Structure 1
Amino acid sequence: TQTITIGQKLKISISTFNLFKNRNKRFEEQVQQQRFSTRFFLIVTLISLVILVFYISFENITHTVIKNNPTITEFDKLYQEYPNTIQCPCQTYSINYEEFITFQPHLHSICSSTFVDETSQWLIIDYPQAMLSGNNGGPTYSARKDDFRQIGSPFFQLLNSFCNLSSKTINAELTTFYLSRFITLNLITFEQFQTQMNQLINQFIKNTARSFINSLFFVENMTAANMLVSAFQSDSLFSSASPIYDEFRYPDYQYIYDRIDQIYNSNESGIDCDCQSTPWCIQQAIIYDLVTRTQLFSPPGIFVGCYLVEAVLQSDLRCFFDIGCLQQLIDSLSLVNISASDIILNSTASHYQEKSSLLEIVSNLMVEEWNNQTFYDNYFNICQPSVCTATYISQGNIVYIITTTIGLIGGLTKVYRFIVPMFIKIIVHKQLIEQMNVLNQKLQNTISQTLDESHILIEQLWNDISTNNENNINYLLKEHEKNLNEKRMNNIKKLKYIKF
């Protein structure tokens, strides 16, 4: 017996492999068609598999990361990995600022000093009692407009008022601010929290200071616009005249008063300033000797002017930071039981310059430091996200590629097993029709050719009969019959080997 090699067995197995066997279709033509369908099915499946593997390998896949009840550390880690897609919805999305912001404002050192203490001598600076007389309590001699004793007590009282008003304004604004709410639908990071809180706090401080100074300027402008007269007559003087001046117009008055605007001269500009033109006219304040009326001391940075408020706002506190200047001020005012070393202001404790005007200080609500603090932990605990989700895009790993490919190719094979046999059947049927058409055409050509040859033979027979050539006639008839038999056999063979 002849031995069959493994290669031959493999070749036979491949050539006879059939995925579409049907016990009801066992004819050779039907089995051959099933094998064609099997080969076509395998080719299409292999091509689909290659395409799917390449596509899935380079496809961008969206992955979702979920973390339930994250801590601050876990949230920070997730944010570092997925900063653009992380979402952590807050359970409480509306939070009062007081829950995570605090202020402990520290005012200028002048506000906590003895200079504005309501029991100190600085708030009752005045002329000696012996020099006060009359109903208005003014000095017995004509005081000069730049005399510091006239404004000494009001000067420090006004400083006290600025401190108290600033403190009350800050407390009122903070109460409103604390009750305002921070709306946050999603948890924000520590850096985002700090940035937003810093912007919020800075805006709050600016708005509060602007509102305060605008209110102050509103009062100042109303005073100047209505030409109200200062109690110190620092903006204008009144003069009186006899009623003879116009007895017909003022018959019931003993005196007629006329207003004379004060003129100030700033040592810095050297230009006269009329209070009628602007209420901001100032002049260096001077302490005079009450007996000789000579100049004792000019406290640097302290001015007198049309109105007390404008004069104080343009003054500064440099003298209160200088022990020599302060002691000379104490001595000139004859204040008792006061030592400059005990009450001097500490310049290192202030971020303002010694020559910073009170307008600058008051414009900042007399505040040295706001001492604000923000607490991200409090915000996080109140927000308390129950879940954090993040998404990222990457190419699939080998496990994803294999599982996805198997899933897709499984579905495709089911479709192919249904479609491929139908497709092959259509193709075979089409080829069969084409073969039949070709065969019919050949048969027609053969018949036509045979008829033509028959006509020729008949003519030859006729010619031979005419020539009485009997032998030739017999020979031609035999040849003609032989040719017809051969052609008939060939046509039968062709019909026999048509493949269905």
Structure 2
Amino acid sequence: MFPLWAFGSDTNRMRAKHLGQLATRLYILLLVISFTIIALYTIIQPQLLTKTFDNPSFNLYNNLIREHRTTLQCPCSSISSTYDHYVQIIPIFHQVCSSTFASNEWRENLLAGLVPDLSIYNTTDYRRFLLAHLLFLNGLCQISIQAINSSVNQFLSSTLSNTQLISETLFRLQIDSLIDQSRSDAPITFNRILSLLRITNHGNAIMSAYGTNFEYIVSMIDPYGSFAFPQAVIYDNECSCGINATCTTQANFISSNSSEIILVKGLKMGCTPSESFLASTLECFYDSSCINLIQEQTNYNNPINTTISLSPNSSHFLINTTVRDLVNVLFVEDWSTKINYTSYFEQCSPSMCSYTYIQQVNLVYTITFLISIYGGLTIALKWICPWIVRLVASINQYRKKKSNSVQPINTIDTISSHINIQNTTVNSELVSTNTTNETRWLSSLLRNYKIVFWFIMSMIIVGIIIIVFTFYSIRQGKSQVVSAGSSTNETNIPRMTVTTTSGKSTTTTSTTLPTST
């Protein structure tokens, strides 16, 4: 099995044959041990395999996601698309914005029955505020609808960027989260602008044209003077418009004939028409008798009375909800959202889908692997075994030379002394000396073989320990292998990048949600 040159050029044929036999035995022993260890390790080592499907259909993808949710990966052919391809959002506004009360026609009909100069009415008469309130209601509804529609259009024109196809559950969760975020952002922007206007008006003490926050006081000392001093109007609970712009009192009509005070349910009067209307409720518009009262006090003369009160069952808001609370949500009752996951799948258009799974014993793989490693193992052992045998032989030869360098002194003296006595005695001593040297060589060789034997046994023990430890680690970390695949998959899936373009500015947002199964 081993050529002559494997043991050195200075080795004779007989010695090379003897060393070759030892090397062959060592080769067979190491080959069996190594091959057994590798075979056992390959058998107990689980294989992480990947299965791929080209151009999967939507039905095939649904089947795969049900069975291999944690490890399924489907890279998208088109990594970006706008939301309007698969999302439809229809905001549902409070019924007052689509009712008669927010229309120009009803307001103009009420105005037709009033005196054009509203200053002739008492400052505590609600007829001074009514038209301003209705005009403010109409403006709030229109601005709210525009702001919400603008927010919806901005969201639908945003771009979803993702390299992996997202499962339907995660896709819906993330879309709902982004819609909620967009829904909350629109009122915040609007309320900041409205708050700025309110603070500016009050901070600069701008007088209302209705004379409801400040009034001019003529000096008693100089009644014909050219100066009039402004004085803040006081409302309920001694609330001064000079300090607080939200001072209000209950709205009422004052009858011109009997000076009777008729309260108007839910509506307020205050420092300014805008502030008082924000503090009001829409209770009157839910009550037919209250609506009739307004029309009577304003001489409403429309021959066809088509004014219909609001329905409490058509809103999730309470009838005593303030207008300020409605403005905080831009009069939005709900958002009707439709998500078409099939359209998203078509937009993504995955070119392939793959999932990984663990297989404990794969006979074909094991045989193929062992055959492939056998060649390399034999080459390595054919090179190592002669080297080990040569090393042991060199050590033995060195020790033999060391013992011979001491022993021949006495042997030669013995031979010389016996030569002088009798010739036959010399032959006897030579045989005895050769026998002793051979015995020492054999014992030295046995000691070296014991070293090699214990070295091989140590390798076997280490191999067994490695196999046991590997088997234990595999069984303990089996679930971790699966979760690692799941973690890799979920890392690619939940993250969505939304790119929003508005005018010349571009905003990119990355959203990550918790995993859901």
TM-score in terms of structure 2 length: 0.73
Aligned partner (choices 253, 257, 264) of residue 299 of structure 1 = 264
User: Percent identity at matched positions?
Assistant: 24
8 Å Cα contact 2:418-2:425 kept in structure 1: no
Counterpart of 1:357, as a letter, is: T
8 Å Cα contact 1:187-1:383 kept in structure 2: yes
8 Å Cα contact 2:118-2:128 kept in structure 1: no
Deviation of 1:392 after TM superposition, in Å, equals 5.0
1:236 aligns to what?
A: 214
Counterpart of 2:251, as a letter, is: A
Deviation of 1:217 after TM superposition, in Å, equals 1.9
Between 393-402 and 36-45, the greater mean CA deviation after superposition: 393-402
1:483 aligns to what?
A: 425
1:27-47 Cα deviation digits (max 9, x unpaired)? 665544433332221111111
Aligned partner (choices 294, 300, 313) of residue 348 of structure 1 = 313
- Separation (CA, whole Å) in 2 of partners of 1:388 and 1:173: 35
Work out whether 1:114 is the aligned partner of 2:100: yes
Aligned partner (choices 28, 33, 46) of residue 42 of structure 1 = 28
Task: For residue 286 of structure 1, give the secondary structure of its aligned residue in structure 2.
Answer: strand
Kindly tell me: are residues 101 and 338 of structure 1, through their superposed partners in 2, closer, same or farther at Cα, counting changes over 3 Å? farther
8 Å Cα contact 1:209-1:363 kept in structure 2: yes
- Separation (CA, whole Å) in 2 of partners of 1:240 and 1:124: 38
- Separation (CA, whole Å) in 1 of partners of 2:224 and 2:289: 56
Kindly tell me: are residues 413 and 201 of structure 1, through their superposed partners in 2, closer, same or farther at Cα, counting changes over 3 Å? same
Kindly tell me: are residues 183 and 233 of structure 1, through their superposed partners in 2, closer, same or farther at Cα, counting changes over 3 Å? same
Kindly tell me: are residues 158 and 40 of structure 1, through their superposed partners in 2, closer, same or farther at Cα, counting changes over 3 Å? same
Task: For residue 399 of structure 1, give the secondary structure of its aligned residue in structure 2.
Answer: helix
Counterpart of 2:425, as a letter, is: N
Kindly tell me: are residues 34 and 343 of structure 1, through their superposed partners in 2, closer, same or farther at Cα, counting changes over 3 Å? same
Aligned partner (choices 175, 187, 197) of residue 219 of structure 1 = 197
Task: For residue 319 of structure 2, give the secondary structure of its aligned residue in structure 1.
Answer: coil
- Relative contact order higher in (CA < 8 Å, ≥ 6 apart): 2
Counterpart of 1:262, as a letter, is: V
Counterpart of 2:365, as a letter, is: Y
Work out whether 1:287 is the aligned partner of 2:253: yes
- Separation (CA, whole Å) in 2 of partners of 1:489 and 1:242: 157
Aligned partner (choices 159, 165, 169) of residue 187 of structure 1 = 165
Kindly tell me: are residues 175 and 496 of structure 1, through their superposed partners in 2, closer, same or farther at Cα, counting changes over 3 Å? closer
Kindly tell me: are residues 201 and 484 of structure 1, through their superposed partners in 2, closer, same or farther at Cα, counting changes over 3 Å? closer
- Separation (CA, whole Å) in 2 of partners of 1:153 and 1:161: 12
Between 65-74 and 103-112, the greater mean CA deviation after superposition: 65-74
- Separation (CA, whole Å) in 2 of partners of 1:489 and 1:280: 131
Counterpart of 1:111, as a letter, is: C
8 Å Cα contact 1:61-1:393 kept in structure 2: yes
Kindly tell me: are residues 492 and 192 of structure 1, through their superposed partners in 2, closer, same or farther at Cα, counting changes over 3 Å? closer
Deviation of 1:138 after TM superposition, in Å, equals 3.7
Aligned partner (choices 113, 131, 134) of residue 156 of structure 1 = 134
- Separation (CA, whole Å) in 2 of partners of 1:324 and 1:76: 58
1:95 aligns to what?
A: 81
8 Å Cα contact 1:106-1:370 kept in structure 2: yes
8 Å Cα contact 1:123-1:157 kept in structure 2: no
5 Å matches for 1:321-332? 321-332=286-297
Aligned partner (choices 186, 200, 207) of residue 178 of structure 2 = 200
- Separation (CA, whole Å) in 1 of partners of 2:300 and 2:416: 158
Work out whether 1:137 is the aligned partner of 2:103: no
Task: For residue 373 of structure 1, give the secondary structure of its aligned residue in structure 2.
Answer: strand
- Separation (CA, whole Å) in 2 of partners of 1:117 and 1:137: 22
1:311-365 Cα deviation digits (max 9, x unpaired)? 1111111122233444444445453458989601111110110000011112111
5 Å matches for 1:335-414? 335-336=300-301, 343-392=308-357, 395-414=360-379
- Separation (CA, whole Å) in 2 of partners of 1:314 and 1:325: 18
Kindly tell me: are residues 174 and 492 of structure 1, through their superposed partners in 2, closer, same or farther at Cα, counting changes over 3 Å? closer
1:367-401 Cα deviation digits (max 9, x unpaired)? 22221233322222212222334445554523322
- Separation (CA, whole Å) in 2 of partners of 1:157 and 1:426: 107
- Separation (CA, whole Å) in 2 of partners of 1:324 and 1:360: 25
Work out whether 1:170 is the aligned partner of 2:139: no
Task: For residue 258 of structure 1, give the secondary structure of its aligned residue in structure 2.
Answer: strand
Counterpart of 1:137, as a letter, is: D
Deviation of 1:228 after TM superposition, in Å, equals 2.0
Counterpart of 2:366, as a letter, is: I
Task: For residue 266 of structure 2, give the secondary structure of its aligned residue in structure 1.
Answer: coil
- Separation (CA, whole Å) in 1 of partners of 2:214 and 2:112: 22
Counterpart of 2:259, as a letter, is: R
Kindly tell me: are residues 490 and 307 of structure 1, through their superposed partners in 2, closer, same or farther at Cα, counting changes over 3 Å? closer
Counterpart of 1:343, as a letter, is: I
1:85-121 Cα deviation digits (max 9, x unpaired)? 544332322322322322211221111212222222x
TM-score in terms of structure 1 length: 0.75
Work out whether 1:424 is the aligned partner of 2:366: no
Task: For residue 416 of structure 1, give the secondary structure of its aligned residue in structure 2.
Answer: helix
Work out whether 1:445 is the aligned partner of 2:410: yes
Task: For residue 210 of structure 1, give the secondary structure of its aligned residue in structure 2.
Answer: helix
- Separation (CA, whole Å) in 2 of partners of 1:90 and 1:447: 93
Task: For residue 292 of structure 1, give the secondary structure of its aligned residue in structure 2.
Answer: coil
- Separation (CA, whole Å) in 2 of partners of 1:291 and 1:489: 159
- Separation (CA, whole Å) in 2 of partners of 1:282 and 1:195: 44
Deviation of 1:196 after TM superposition, in Å, equals 1.8
- Separation (CA, whole Å) in 2 of partners of 1:437 and 1:167: 107
1:52 aligns to what?
A: 38
Aligned partner (choices 267, 276, 283) of residue 242 of structure 2 = 276
Counterpart of 1:483, as a letter, is: T
Unaligned runs of 5+ in 1: 1-18, 248-254, 266-270, 458-479
- Separation (CA, whole Å) in 1 of partners of 2:161 and 2:417: 105
8 Å Cα contact 1:323-1:340 kept in structure 2: no
- How many residue pairs end up in the alignment? 435
Task: For residue 49 of structure 1, give the secondary structure of its aligned residue in structure 2.
Answer: helix
Counterpart of 2:231, as a letter, is: I
Deviation of 1:404 after TM superposition, in Å, equals 1.5
Counterpart of 1:410, as a letter, is: G
Q: Rg larger in 1 or in 2? A: 1
8 Å Cα contact 2:88-2:339 kept in structure 1: yes
2:187 aligns to what?
A: 209
